[in-house]
Structure 1
């Protein structure tokens, strides 16, 4: 055992702590609530009475109240705003019947009517004006009736059918402490801060409902009824519900027989700061007793749905294990019961309340054990130690996550894969400087950082504290912290003082890390080199358990196109999480068709200055593949290839707000491309008899081109109405090409939406315009139709048969690249394609989902455009061209298949004139086009926070 010596600085800290605790005070609120559930209107009707005692040294003239059901009243609340900020549009587009509110409030203070005033900003906060100021040490009684319409379960409170989650449901005074009032709106990211007291709650529900609630159930007969719920007889019931759009959905559930009678249940609990309850006719119940180390016995219960019984059988034992573990590690559980309830899907995994927690049903096995341990553990860090979770989430979520990890290590030693993955992502955020300090308020965190920093990094930081202190001293400090501050509101300084009493002087610098971004000391100890292959057992750590500074990954690489055919090789990269400043990727392959070596790769160096620019990246891209072939009269095939080198400088501007959905960038790029072509020439041969033979021969030649590109871009990757815009200016030999592309997405309330694209381009000749220049710059001209492989002059997209249109090689000729005008009808067989311009061109493109389900990939597309050629006097086409049809989209619209159904007459004439068949089906299939949109793919399509 490590010997502990109380140093002079530690003694001073202890004296200061004692003085602080001596002056400590907190308000007290004791509640009596009676409420009735109406399961046809999904509403609550009740009365609340509370004794509010002012233990502060201040005289109070008013009391702020949280009336949080109003957070669901409309789409102008802090909750609604945060949902959109975190990319969730479900509540924003919900109908009135799905929303919720609280009303029929009529406050009285000591029996006399009292006035209320609205909060200037938030409809889920109000001010109760006291008729007589409340002096220090005095108590008043506050009462009011209330009615709550429960919302659909968007967040923590509400209902899903006749399954009820009743949380944050009654008028509750805001906390008043040494820092003043803490009146805060309800939000989903960021939790609670409430006054401790006693609860006496009476709940009336239909007699066939099972209720799980905070506190002690007072009806012994109800307890006996609950114990028999595992043998309850169920019958299937089919119900139909309409949503706001009139769509009918059929729901099959297992319900017990209905009962018109009501039953009354009473729950009491001391020393808690909240009360939650849950009701469902389907619940089965498992109950048992749990003996703690002291010999005290508490009751444990698990409420679950019958269809999940097999997966939830161990849940009761998991609950008992968690209570015992936290009691031994932190301090004994002070209440007489603890309950775990299975809730609806989709509210975030788990949610804690005093003596009871709600868990989503998708977990099982060790993952269910982990979530139960974490949520039960919140009885200590949130329930008993009632810190301000909204302002200091780390003090609750992070400290609790530390003990959750200790729990998992105790019961599942060696199971580190998930922890390693989380650590890698946390370190990635730190290395790329997109992290935030641990000491950040809940609402100021980005959605990703809230989970990664408040939970994961804090847990790692607390492990750092343990390492510096030693395990024995750390455990003593945490247990004393719990003992001194249970049923109180500890602040960060209280936690720090408690730890420093048992810590060496060096712990000061460890606490300073709470206010800093970046890697923790233990995360900086990565060293050495690690190799990963498909056969590697551990993909995140070295054999000795430490993380490697550089990881080299070796994987097989394959590829395919019309000319190289099947390609096989190996890919080697050091790209990993967290990223190194210098990264490379190389995938050399051997092509079975062209019998040559092909491949792709890059090397880059990235800086994160954290000033004007979030990121500066210098990169060199390289690629070499075959791109065309030629078969001569003797049936000899010659395959041509290309090689590309593309140096790049990327500047990404820094956003002031970590929650910003914007991504703004400047990109300078050069393309140095060598393409093989065929040079045909005549060879004259004179024989001995003076006969002269002239034959046509050919040989490969290299054409070298250089293109300079400047790209300015802005993206607003918010979930609701996102948009992107970029301006690309390119300079090549004899020309400058300018193109603006803007994209806007209009969300539909029922899901999906309308994607709108605007393109405007201008082509300039440098010097005089000549026929020679026109011919030489043909592939760079603006084009109404999406570019084909030949017109992908930067070789930025993947084409199966890049130049198949030159010799009409089957279905591969139907691939396009959505660029410029973006039309889907092709006219590649014309020497001068319809809609091509070496002057100017503009178009509008639309793509709309047709079904609510995102799993149905059918879209409706329509394009309209105009170009310089259509406005000439001798023009043979209309000024405005159009096409429309159906589209199949896959992988976030990376792969698209287009079926044109309507188009301008000039396209119809082209199709008829170039078709050599009378079959309408064959002719229609020839109009089909498809795209593989590699160049526009970004991880930000999946998650806007994935900047790295």
Structure 2
């Protein structure tokens, strides 16, 4: 019997065989009290809202950097005005030095199969001062600890930290920052280009998880930054360009003004003008581009001599507007390539804004390159310069969708990547349906369902994989083979199931909007999301948080038998879901009966009496194929 059980489990993972023998459903485990990962206290309430004593620190930045495309270096000065709103006095500050990821002995070289073959020497720190006085500091991998001459008082204490630094650019092996060639010059995609404050929060104090390969957790603040480059380069940066008279021609300023009033894409710098010196306001020397961005957690920029540039107006709720812009090389020109980029960008921002939460920034930029393609930062995304129409639409919508998660809702990507990639992939599904009457819909490939089939079937191999990670595990602990299937796909499908099958759009959508608005520019934990959705939607969802997010449980519902007008349904595996039972009666009529999850709180199988006194001749659980049932062979009666 033990051998047979093991054989059935193996077969079930491949073909859904063996039915009830594959598992032994125990309602006591599925519906046991759920332990939320983070406790309720004065900082975070049981409703998933910030508590009465919630606090969050703040970091405002003044940055100046010079990009040298001859030596391929960046040198800069960062002044950070840090506000300590916590109740604690702080004797040190912690910062992230992400460029140290590219050193030969970086910890990240030992955590991935994709070990970099080329290296840099990382950050070169020239000086560190606190309120104008020299400060001691220690660098450990991708982190810097600055030791303060006196503790920084809590509840509003302020300090000014200045760091002078430089580093060599990592080239096209940087992954999220670097440069790569194009026909008319290198394209520089510059992210993580300055020392960034670590978060100090109520969950663990200083969050100093090193930069291995996963993403970020950052404080909010206002940014003023200046980028100095050779005069023949165009810079596209997060936020609003505040000195256009200095860096743009009169023609380009006129075209931008036209684009701000246009729903159609307006060319700012045409392909023919890329090689024309007259498309720059100055010949020789350098120009400094100045940008401002308020209430953001980060800024990034692209720079190149090769950019074609176009733009159009974004229409936002309450009559507000923003500007969508795309910059790309001449190799990417064409309606089947980047010629529609701004159309895609504009439509995605408008959709996410109207459905979930208004886009908060003055500009949204899609930048084409290869060094950091497929990566998101506030106000700007880096996407592949060679992408054709459908993949470009998909990646554009996905990357700008990160504005909402985690740029607006500032979750910790390094520890809870599913709250970043999964939530964003979820909203992508509906954007694909909405764009141009579903031109590229449904989104059932690429980021969402790798094999392009029914998502509830595509997830089954992951649920059957005993080595698959829990969604609640830290992002850096997820092997590359599982990163996309779990972090993106499973997390997104979980929200789809919540919206479409468990809660319903009429309750899910307002609750999800409330979550976004409540935690905009704040740092929610997984428990805050779980609690708020339960409170706002009016459902105890602990069984789903456990089965889908904490565990990797499988679902197997069955119709076991029919006796006259009584249908016996069973739950044979540890996950439960509400489902529809469709019965056909002896007069050829059909009836749908909803089987709620509460059915399984006390039962492993349940007899459903079909009202009306007619004989049932056929019965099927989940007839519309809406839930991830691993063995659909036992869903029907007769077999």
Q: Please indicate, yes or no, whether the TM-score normalized by the shorter chain is above 0.5.
A: yes
1:318 aligns with 2:338: no
Stretches of structure 1 that go unaligned for 5 or more consecutive residues are: 1-11, 237-254, 529-541, 553-948
Q: CA offsets per residue over residues 363-390 of structure 1, 9 Å max, x none?
A: 2222211111111110011111111000
Decide whether the 8 Å contact of 2:581 with 2:623 is kept in 1: no
Q: CA offsets per residue over residues 788-810 of structure 1, 9 Å max, x none?
A: xxxxxxxxxxxxxxxxxxxxxxx
When structure 1 is superposed on structure 2, of 449-458 and 492-501 the one drifting more is: 492-501
Decide whether the 8 Å contact of 1:398 with 1:457 is kept in 2: yes
Higher normalized helix content (fraction of residues) = 2
The aligned counterpart of 2:304 is: 280
1:113 aligns with 2:134: yes
Q: Matched residues in 2 for 1:384 and 1:416: separation?
A: 24
Secondary structure at the residue paired with 1:314? helix
Q: Matched residues in 2 for 1:257 and 1:289: separation?
A: 25
2:87 aligned residue (57, 72, 78): 57
Q: CA offsets per residue over residues 727-774 of structure 1, 9 Å max, x none?
A: xxxxxxxxxxxxxxxxxxxxxxxxxxxxxxxxxxxxxxxxxxxxxxxx
The aligned counterpart of 2:404 is: 380
Q: Matched residues in 2 for 1:71 and 1:527: separation?
A: 54
Q: CA offsets per residue over residues 248-273 of structure 1, 9 Å max, x none?
A: xxxxxxx9999531001100111101
Q: Matched residues in 1 for 2:58 and 2:364: separation?
A: 23
The offset of 1:232, in angstroms, is 4.0
2:434 aligned residue (404, 410, 420): 410
1:515 aligns with 2:547: no
Higher normalized strand content (fraction of residues) = 1
The offset of 1:211, in angstroms, is 0.8
The offset of 1:487, in angstroms, is 0.9
Q: Matched residues in 1 for 2:450 and 2:136: separation?
A: 55
The aligned counterpart of 2:178 is: 158
The aligned counterpart of 1:478 is: 512
Q: Matched residues in 1 for 2:358 and 2:541: separation?
A: 27
2:70 aligned residue (40, 49, 59): 40
- Superposed, 1:193-592 pairs within 5 Å as 193-221=217-245, 222=247, 225=252, 227=255, 228-234=268-274, 260-310=284-334, 311-344=337-370, 347=372, 350-411=374-435, 412=438, 415=442, 418=445, 419=449, 421=451, 423=455, 424-466=457-499, 467-513=501-547, 514-519=549-554
Q: Matched residues in 2 for 1:275 and 1:420: separation?
A: 31
Q: CA offsets per residue over residues 8-37 of structure 1, 9 Å max, x none?
A: xxxx99973487432211111111111111
- In 2 relative to 1, CA 350–464 (structure 1 residues): closer, same or farther, beyond 3 Å? same
The aligned counterpart of 2:145 is: 127
The aligned counterpart of 2:210 is: 185
Q: Matched residues in 2 for 1:275 and 1:147: separation?
A: 18
The offset of 1:409, in angstroms, is 2.6
The offset of 1:118, in angstroms, is 3.1
- In 2 relative to 1, CA 548–420 (structure 1 residues): closer, same or farther, beyond 3 Å? farther
- Superposed, 1:803-818 pairs within 5 Å as none
- In 2 relative to 1, CA 471–302 (structure 1 residues): closer, same or farther, beyond 3 Å? same
1:73 aligned residue (97, 100, 103): 103
Decide whether the 8 Å contact of 2:554 with 2:630 is kept in 1: no
Stretches of structure 2 that go unaligned for 5 or more consecutive residues are: 1-39, 256-267, 556-574, 583-621, 634-639
- In 2 relative to 1, CA 258–433 (structure 1 residues): closer, same or farther, beyond 3 Å? farther
Q: Matched residues in 2 for 1:544 and 1:401: separation?
A: 23
Decide whether the 8 Å contact of 1:468 with 1:506 is kept in 2: no
Which one scores higher on RCO, CA 8 angstroms, separation ≥ 6?
2
Q: Matched residues in 1 for 2:103 and 2:443: separation?
A: 43
- In 2 relative to 1, CA 500–523 (structure 1 residues): closer, same or farther, beyond 3 Å? closer
Secondary structure at the residue paired with 1:22? coil
Q: Matched residues in 2 for 1:416 and 1:299: separation?
A: 26
Decide whether the 8 Å contact of 1:433 with 1:518 is kept in 2: no
The offset of 1:496, in angstroms, is 1.6
The aligned counterpart of 1:905 is: none
**TM-score scaled by structure 1?**
0.49
The aligned counterpart of 2:27 is: none
- In 2 relative to 1, CA 259–549 (structure 1 residues): closer, same or farther, beyond 3 Å? same
Q: Matched residues in 1 for 2:351 and 2:367: separation?
A: 20
Decide whether the 8 Å contact of 2:326 with 2:366 is kept in 1: yes
When the two structures are aligned, how many residues end up with a matched partner? 495
Secondary structure at the residue paired with 1:433? coil
Decide whether the 8 Å contact of 1:206 with 1:259 is kept in 2: no
Q: Matched residues in 2 for 1:177 and 1:351: separation?
A: 26
Q: CA offsets per residue over residues 267-309 of structure 1, 9 Å max, x none?
A: 0111101111111110111111111132101111011111111
- Structure whose CA Rg is larger: 1
The offset of 1:417, in angstroms, is 5.4
- In 2 relative to 1, CA 100–330 (structure 1 residues): closer, same or farther, beyond 3 Å? farther
Decide whether the 8 Å contact of 2:274 with 2:305 is kept in 1: no
When structure 1 is superposed on structure 2, of 370-379 and 412-421 the one drifting more is: 412-421
Secondary structure at the residue paired with 1:106? strand
Decide whether the 8 Å contact of 1:469 with 1:507 is kept in 2: no
